[in-house]
Amino acid sequence: MPSANNLSLTSFIFGIVSLFCIILGFSIPVGALGTITGLLSRGRAGLDQRAKIGIALSLAGIAAGVCLIIWSFNTISVEELRQLILQYQDIQGA
């Protein structure tokens, strides 16, 4: 079934890209897409090897993205965050 392979290949690619996107902060959306395409490639025979790896990489990307967000919240103090939001609002207002 070539299309199942297409979906699992898509999942595999998204999985790898999600790991690269950790630095850019896009690992959660890309990882979510990888997980979705991987899960949708599952037929009666179950997941093929590529889809399994794709889902694993995508979940790793999501987990890394979540960890990065938590780390960011712990690193930046509430006061700094407030200042950043005020700066952002100034830019929006201007």
Buried b (16+ CB within 10 A) or exposed e, 27-45: bbebbbbbbbbbeebbeee
Closest separation in Å from C-beta 4 to other proteins: 5
Amino acid at 69: I
CB of 28 to other proteins, least distance (A): 6
Q: Within a 13 Å sphere around the CA of 71, how many CA atoms are in the beta-carbon half? A: 8
Q: Does 30 bind other proteins (CB under 8 A)?
A: yes
Under DSSP, is residue 46 helix (H, G, I), strand (E, B) or coil?
strand
* x-marked contacts with other proteins along 40-79 as a string, rule CB under 8 A: xxxxx-----------------x-----------------
Binding site for other proteins (CB under 8 A): 1-4, 6-7, 28-33, 35-37, 39-44, 62
